[in-house]
Structure 1
Amino acid sequence: MVLKEYGPIIEDTIAQLSKNSRFSQTTKYMQHGKTSVYEHCIKVAYMSCWIASKLRLNVDYASLIRGALLHDYFLYDWHDKNKGHRLHGFFHPRKALQNAREDLELTPKEENIILRHMFPLTPIPPYYLESWIVCIADKFCAINEIFRINVIQQKMHKRIPGRRISV
């Protein structure tokens, strides 16, 4: 249901971000295991829509999707500890928000999603419902990627422009 209902919106948002920002550069950076930042952000967008849909939450899907796609828009290889990324988990939300603000106009919800998605590692909690959803979806997707659990892949498969990935 999520793929049919929100897949086209997610794909359109990916296309807009790829055209109007550096979003495609996220394909160059690995996130967890063999998953790129690009793939991770798309999975988080789908998972966020799935959570909101399953719980029948009244959310702003446009901000939810855009915030999920941009939540890790930090644009560097955080695995390279020689470049000062030792505390990546604490500082990348601010860098992602800075990059997103440089490239795009953001709503307050989108800004909060990006800035607060690492709660509780970062101490200030999310403010909006959409921010909480992305925060939870991000943790779920990260665990799946780190431990190579295929829960997400078993539920959803989608053709992403230029590449087949499991979502």
Structure 2
Amino acid sequence: MEPSVIAEYTGDEEYMECVKDILDSSVFHSLDKYIQHGTTTCKDHSIQVSYLAYKLCKRFGGNWRSAARAGLLHDLFLYDWHTHARETGNHFHGFTHPRTAFQNAQAYFELSWEEGDIILRHMWPLTPIPPATRAGFAVTCADKVCSAVETTARLKSWVLLCFLARPARR
């Protein structure tokens, strides 16, 4: 994660106050072992989703505390989804990981009803039931934005590499 992003969220006292227990937990730090999109770890992805959703709720309304906390926990599935299907036979990670993340989050943290709802519904419209709250929509949107940026950053590098590797025209 870029130092400017780290400085922004760690310097936001209100944000840090409501997520400190999660950020300090070993289970959350274990997300560093798993790549989410491109070269971004699950931990960095979750922080970026959390902070963007928090800022969206602060600006447009919604429970910013629930958005911040659920944003950190929305992908707490604790496995490498790139190899999960091969290892388990479960080929539906996109559909099933919200429930796994919810169960893990419940096991390690005290969740409000809204935080649980956000985690369970963050993959909408891939999962059929939309988020029930503004904070839920903030996390869902932040997740889509962050995922797109992380994925296209890798794609941009690949396209640039292919372009630079092409033989020059004469």
Deviation at 1:9, TM superposition (A): 3.5
- Partner in structure 2 of residue 62 of structure 1: 65
- Percent identity, please: 40
Of the structure 1 ranges 42-51 and 61-70, higher mean CA displacement relative to structure 2 is found in 42-51
| Structure 1 residue ranges without an equivalent (≥5) | 150-167
Tell me the amino acid that sits aligned with residue 79 of structure 2. Answer: Y
Does the residue aligned with 1:38 lie in a helix, a strand or coil? Answer: helix
Is it true that 1:30 corresponds to 2:35 in the alignment? Answer: yes
Q: Please say if residues 21 and 103 of structure 1, whose CA atoms lie closer than 8 Å, have aligned partners that are also in contact.
A: no
State the alpha-carbon separation in 2 of the partners of residues 68 and 57 from structure 1.
17
Deviation at 1:104, TM superposition (A): 1.2
Q: What RMSD in Å do the two structures reach over aligned CA positions?
A: 2.3
In the TM superposition, structure 1's runs of 4+ consecutive aligned residues that sit over 3 Å from their partners are: 2-6, 9-15, 18-21
> Structure 2 matches for 1:116-131, cutoff 5 A?
116-131=121-136
Q: Which structure: larger Rg?
A: 2
Does the residue aligned with 2:102 lie in a helix, a strand or coil? Answer: helix
Q: Please say if residues 73 and 99 of structure 1, whose CA atoms lie closer than 8 Å, have aligned partners that are also in contact.
A: yes
Is it true that 1:16 corresponds to 2:17 in the alignment? Answer: no
User: TM (normalized to structure 2)?
Assistant: 0.77
Q: Please say if residues 72 and 93 of structure 1, whose CA atoms lie closer than 8 Å, have aligned partners that are also in contact.
A: yes
Q: Higher helix proportion, which one?
A: 2
User: TM (normalized to structure 1)?
Assistant: 0.79
The one-character-per-residue Cα deviations of 1:105-160 (angstroms, maximum 9, x if unpaired) are 100110011000000000111101100110011000000000018xxxxxxxxxxx
Tell me the amino acid that sits aligned with residue 107 of structure 2. Answer: E
State the alpha-carbon separation in 2 of the partners of residues 39 and 99 from structure 1.
18
The one-character-per-residue Cα deviations of 1:90-115 (angstroms, maximum 9, x if unpaired) are 00000000000111110011001100
> Structure 2 matches for 1:10-159, cutoff 5 A?
10-20=15-25, 22-53=27-58, 56-80=59-83, 81-84=85-88, 85-148=90-153
Q: Please say if residues 22 and 28 of structure 2, whose CA atoms lie closer than 8 Å, have aligned partners that are also in contact.
A: yes
Tell me the amino acid that sits aligned with residue 68 of structure 1. Answer: G
| Structure 2 residue ranges without an equivalent (≥5) | 155-170
Q: Please say if residues 10 and 16 of structure 2, whose CA atoms lie closer than 8 Å, have aligned partners that are also in contact.
A: no
Cα distance, 1:7–1:20 mapped onto 2, change above 3 Å: same
